[in-house]
A and B are shown apart, each in its own frame.
Chain A
Amino acid sequence: MYIEKPRFSCPLGGAMATANALPNTVAVLHASQGCGGNSIGAIMAAAGHMGSGYCGGASVPTSGIGEKQIVFGGVERLQEQLRTTLEVIKAELLILITGCTAEIIGDDVESAVREFTAEDPNRPPLIHASGAGFKGNSYFGYDSVLQSLFRNYLAPADVKKKGTVNIWGLPPALDVFWEGNLVELRRLLEGIGLKVNSFFTKFDTLENIRAAAEAELNIIVSPVNGIEAAKVFKEVHGVDFAVYDLPIGGKATEDFLRSVSKRLNLNQKKVNVFIGTEKNLYYHYFSRISDSYCDLDLQRYAVIVADTTYAIALASFARHELGWVPRLVAVTDPIRDEEKPAIIDRFRDVLPSADTIVAFETDTSRIETRLAERWPRPDGSKYYRPFSPAFVIGSRLDKEFAESIGALHLSVSYPISNRVVLSRGYAGYRGGLLLIEDIMTVVLGNR
């Protein structure tokens, strides 16, 4: 089915962003010449202006297969590109990502990868992830890189280390705040006594990533992203996984930490002390806005437009931290019909009447229609209740919609081209405070 203004790219785009976010890792594309260039805009300008990073942007090595290779095969060109990449580029891990054209013509990439390593064992490891556009979207690309990493890069570990965990579920770029989020989640998990591998932050190293199979548990902070990879991890390395929602703010973060500590049988005393200190600090700052909140009535109707992971997290945040009233939560990533009930269930934990508030809608111009189904349009009557005061927490694509209903707006979900995101994250206690600051700054921006 067609999608209007889809808020994601193809597997190749997602895989490229994911590979680029791993430490000292270089993505090599085996694809048409423009696949990289097309993805650059989606990854950089649309992800809070996150930039080329170590070897992204225009520097991504690309085989650039054309008509000749489509007819005669592209393996030779790929082998040449891999060889020259090592001569020009410094990399400790290479991730080969195949695009539509390479996969349709059926290049035997796996053999090429094996040969490459066999030729010279001193070469940096090379692993392959599928990025063919017709296989899905950029969430799939994220999963595809993780799967390959788990299968082909991690060192097998028969003995698991108590108190060691891996965390994932937030795809680089598609979660514009992924790095800040992971840094905060890492800090929190370390706070309750765990050793954490988060793959995509400056605190992660390839050495630690390679040893990730030693973990006791994999923590997935998304009900949809990276789940297939978690299954592969379990199958290959025997490590179980637990799925949580992305925690934003005081209540969700405490719930998250308590669930994790229960699952891992952590020392409750230590956990209580950590949560106590963090909570104390959180509510110390949290209460600063309270005078204005009361004097100015800063409660709002909320519309949330985001992918599954963020939609649940933001709906929970709006209701339980801001004390707002969500009226429409539009889930924008494509969800198969059979998966929808499970997602609605997760919403039920955070929203009363989730069934009537949540809508699955991939098409940008239809968000407005979804709201109209939930809140009648003006009918000219004297006592029509306007949808006001309202606030849209969505992406840059929802700014015009917000304006059209007279609501204020903040870009939090992808794409975000109208904000700059460096180290900012919204997860956890620190992130919750930042999100309150950012939203309230918009609400009070004209004062």
Chain B
Amino acid sequence: MSYLHLKVPPTRDERLKPCNAYGGSMCNLAKGQKTGCLSANGRTFAQATGCQLTLSMAMAASIPNTVVIYHGPVGCGAGSLGLAGQSKLSQLARGNNDAVGRVWMSTNLSESDVVNGSEAKLEAAILEAERRFRPHAIFIGNTCVPAIIGDDIDNVAQKVQPLVNARIIPLHCEGFKTRFVATAYDIVYHGILRYLLSEDPEREPLLKDEAASIAYEQKRKRTVNLLNVGSMGYVDEVELTRLLNAIGLEVNVYPCFTSPEKFVKVKDAALSVSICATHDDYFVEHLKEHYGVPYVLNTIPIGTDNVRLWLLDIADFFGIREQALRVIELEETELRKALEPLLPLFKGKKAFVSTGEIRAGAQACMLENDLGMTVVGIRAHHYDQFGEIVFDNFKDRDDVTINVAANQPFEQVNLFRKLKPDLFLGHGNSNVWAARQGVPVLPIYGPNNSYLGYKGIFEVASRLERILENPEYYRTLGDTAESPYQETWYDQDAYAYIKQTQQVA
């Protein structure tokens, strides 16, 4: 499926035809996804959500020694303002003592730029970014305005590249181009694939050491690319590395928090290991096609079922299934013992899960199969072909409500009034709307906490136990927070505003 010859990769809308608005059973969702008839759905009432620019730039900015330039009006980078501290913490956690956090600039386009074009402003910003920060890479995030007025950012990048040391990487991540924020991952990976994987002749050793080359070659055969995500804690990287080491593999972590000059080694690995197809499918497929690095992409290692599946996929590739099964058995036995005292508290608790597709499915599985809760509802930001494996557990379950929505808290509050869950594991910005209904909340991801691997299961269980021990804060909110939603809205079908066009997109 190579798209690398293109300046602009296709959007998810075109490439995967996902669904972004759905409510009903898993069975119908899976059917609809296969026929493609859900991909044209929309909403006649909609609420604020993210755009691919914000997510692209968050991912790009997680790479140290870079400057990200928002090419647009000044507000397009404003999401960064709340994250200055956290970006630095995430870099510090990975032993980067020189961490400076996120470095961003805005080309600050004005009304006259809309009329006259703004390429000169972008050029000036790139040169200043180089002069001021001497970064390894400069990511340019194109926004709605210059795209509509027809600025050519590739041309600017090409023109200025000879004048700067930093690799200039143009990203076509204009917000209006896609309904699927996850397109951002493809955009940033596209930039990495096109601009960061070529060998730098200056970095070639002057003297080639044959013994070292052989040793490297040997090691390479057991080395995997572990693909992380920007919102992932270092603790999770440590846990997954521990498990991969335990079955005899070496690990390099990409793309977030890894300096741009290290990306060239991504081509040398024996296997790419994804923890999330939504995040990585574009990248691993291209790595395979262009550099012959195969991949595993089936699931996210959350909950024993999916950790097992994830590890065995990797082990099977290397032909070390027996070894992996021994590790799994040992780990699972130890974990079960540790979880045992917590289980009575969780039994029969009704849980509701909401986040990106892959994580949502796997986390719901974990709550039921590892902790003994009852999942009453799952919301996924979107749904596409990669959901099949993680949602397999729920395919015949009519008792589980499935809602596809990126945030859209109005649907969530309606469902909650009816389903009355005891607990919510949700994505940022949607958690508070559950809490305002009195439901205790655990954020379903977070840069400072553990969620993945065996350790993640135990840590999530421990945090849930703590939250359930005293949910008073949430109860107080439920009793006192004002709701902007009409009372009559709760009597309606939660999916009343989903537009089913019935047309195959």
**CB <8 Å contact, A63 and B145:** no
A135-B114 Cα distance, complex, nearest whole Å: 10
A109-B179 Cα distance, complex, nearest whole Å: 23
Chain A 52-72 residues near chain B, CB threshold 8 A: 52, 54-55, 57-67, 70
Stretch at the interface among B74-82, B159-167, B252-260: B74-82
Q: Which size bracket describes the interface of A in this complex?
A: 35 or more
A55: which B residues are within 8 A, CB to CB? 484
A417-B101 Cα distance, complex, nearest whole Å: 14
A39: which B residues are within 8 A, CB to CB? 48, 75, 78-79
**CB <8 Å contact, B81 and A9:** yes
Stretch at the interface among A27-35, A241-249, A338-346, A438-446: A27-35
Interface string of B485-504 (1 = CB under 8 A from A): 11011000000010000000
Q: Does A11 contact B (CB under 8 A)?
A: yes
A42-B104 Cα distance, complex, nearest whole Å: 14
Given A57-B429, A70-B176, A415-B81, the answer on whether A62 and B46 have CB atoms closer than 8 Å is yes
B278: which A residues are within 8 A, CB to CB? none
**CB <8 Å contact, A38 and B50:** yes
Looking at B75, B101, B107, the one whose CB has the most chain A CB atoms below 10 A away is B75
Given A4-B132, A62-B49, the answer on whether A41 and B83 have CB atoms closer than 8 Å is yes
Residue from the list B49, B409, B433 in contact with A64, Cβ < 8 A: B49
Given A37-B429, A90-B484, A134-B145, the answer on whether A85 and B179 have CB atoms closer than 8 Å is no
Q: Does B209 contact A (CB under 8 A)?
A: no
Q: Does A44 contact B (CB under 8 A)?
A: yes
Q: Does A294 contact B (CB under 8 A)?
A: no
A59 to chain B, nearest CB (A): 5
**CB <8 Å contact, B179 and A33:** yes
**CB <8 Å contact, B489 and A63:** no
Q: Does A158 contact B (CB under 8 A)?
A: no
Given A7-B81, A133-B145, the answer on whether A81 and B107 have CB atoms closer than 8 Å is no
Q: Does B73 contact A (CB under 8 A)?
A: yes
A42 to chain B, nearest CB (A): 4
Given A26-B484, A87-B489, A133-B74, the answer on whether A59 and B81 have CB atoms closer than 8 Å is no
**CB <8 Å contact, B486 and A42:** no
**CB <8 Å contact, A58 and B51:** no
Tally of chain B residues near chain A (CB < 8 A): 73
Complex: chain A residue closest to B145, CB-CB: A100
Interface string of A75-106 (1 = CB under 8 A from B): 00000110011011111000000001100110
**CB <8 Å contact, B484 and A6:** no
Interface string of B63-99 (1 = CB under 8 A from A): 0000001001111111111111110100000000000
A172 to chain B, nearest CB (A): 15
**CB <8 Å contact, B108 and A42:** no
Q: Does A18 contact B (CB under 8 A)?
A: no
Which residues of A come within 8 Å of B, CB atoms?
Answer: 1-13, 26, 29, 32-42, 44-46, 51-52, 54-55, 57-67, 70, 80-81, 84-85, 87-91, 100-101, 104-105, 132-135, 137-138, 365, 396-397, 399-400, 414-415, 417-418
| A-B pairs with beta carbons under 8 Å apart, 16 shown | A5-B105, A10-B74, A32-B51, A35-B48, A36-B48, A37-B48, A40-B429, A42-B78, A46-B81, A59-B47, A59-B410, A61-B48, A62-B47, A87-B45, A134-B113, A134-B145
